[in-house]
Amino acid sequence: MENGTSASLGPARVAVLAGGDSSERAVSLESGAAVAQALAGRGHDVTPIDPAGTSLAGVDWPRFDVAFLALHGRFGEDGQVQALLETAGVPYTGSGAESSRLAFSKSASKERFLQAGVPTLPYVLIHQTDAAARIARQARKLGFPLVVKPDRQGSSFGVSLVPAPEALPQALARCFSFDDFGLLEPAVIGSEWTVGLIDGVVLPAIEIETGRAFFDYEAKYADDATRYRFDYSAPPRVVRAIERAGRRAAAAVGTRGIARVDLMLDRLDRPWVLEVNTIPGFTSHSLVPKAAARAGISFGELCERAMQSAVRAAAMSPARRKAG
């Protein structure tokens, strides 16, 4: 995609990495299947690879022109597979290893947001060895309702909305079942939004409506009542502020290729960035493909653009420039 165009790379040998053994395996497999089908339909030679059953260290990487990452969760979005592919010298879709590691940690990314002036909520980092009384004191300081979430997890696994102190112990147990570290964060009473990006270019924002307490795993993947709106309830100036916050958040952690930023809009029309997703869902009904379709970009073209971005990034890397 040079200068915003969508010319094809030509037939490419593509390794589509999906599955893995994280808690998001099922979603990852669905993303990978959709990507593989779309790329094969565009004439590419596609090889699916599931790291849960194939050692990536034993893959003959030189036979591939690019690796398409549809791995969600740990060993997908946390920088590990990116570092492995960089060592192997194969271009890969999405953000680099350091940006991926940074974005996957909610506390580390929030610190970067704060440094960059990106609107994000105050938080307290907690550990499973912390005394319950200490965590309770921190929670009271933040005030209820609040949100408890694992530091390094996706798809809202382990996230709880805590309306009152008596619900805190159960929320902590749920959080720590997914990660040793967690965050306490004030709950925003308002609407949920997401902003997709392609190499920093913002796609149409999506307003999310759910009848559940928040946009949790069930709302994302199982609840047919969840609605995704482009006919926004907020005025244009507020939508522009949401999109601007999304762009700044992605820039703060250094994303490239396709990324997604999740936000809350409070009752005073102030956007608050929750997190950056460096490998968002790639199923036909996922949020970034919905936003791309709204912008006139088909699912197949979106996948193509992700690969083009990967090849450009690899060509511009210091190691490649030195070798050249």
Active-site residues, by number, are: 24, 155, 221, 260, 262, 275, 277, 281
Determine whether 146 is exposed, middle or buried from the number of CB atoms within 10 Å of its CB (0-12, 13-18, 19+).
Answer: buried
Rounded to whole angstroms, the maximal C-alpha distance in the chain is 62
| Vertex 139: Cα angle to 135 and 140 (nearest 5) | 120
- 150 bridge partner residues: 182
Whether cis (ω within 30° of 0) applies to the bond prior to 271 is: no
The residue among 129, 121, 187, 180 whose CA lies nearest residue 150 is: 180
**Residue for token pair 């009542």:** 225
Strand blocks (E) in 32-116: 45-49, 66-69
User: How many other C-beta atoms can be found within 10 angstroms of the C-beta atom of residue 53?
Assistant: 9
36, 280 in Cβ contact below 8 A?
Answer: no
The residue among 142, 95, 143, 90 whose CA lies nearest residue 253 is: 95
User: How many other C-beta atoms can be found within 10 angstroms of the C-beta atom of residue 239?
Assistant: 21
Name the token pair of 118: 């990106």
Name the token pair of 56: 């990536």
Taking the C-alpha atoms of residue 150 and residue 106, their distance in angstroms, rounded to an integer, is 8
Taking the C-alpha atoms of residue 193 and residue 246, their distance in angstroms, rounded to an integer, is 10
15, 39 in Cβ contact below 8 A?
Answer: no
Q: Is 228 helix (H, G, I), strand (E, B) or coil?
A: strand
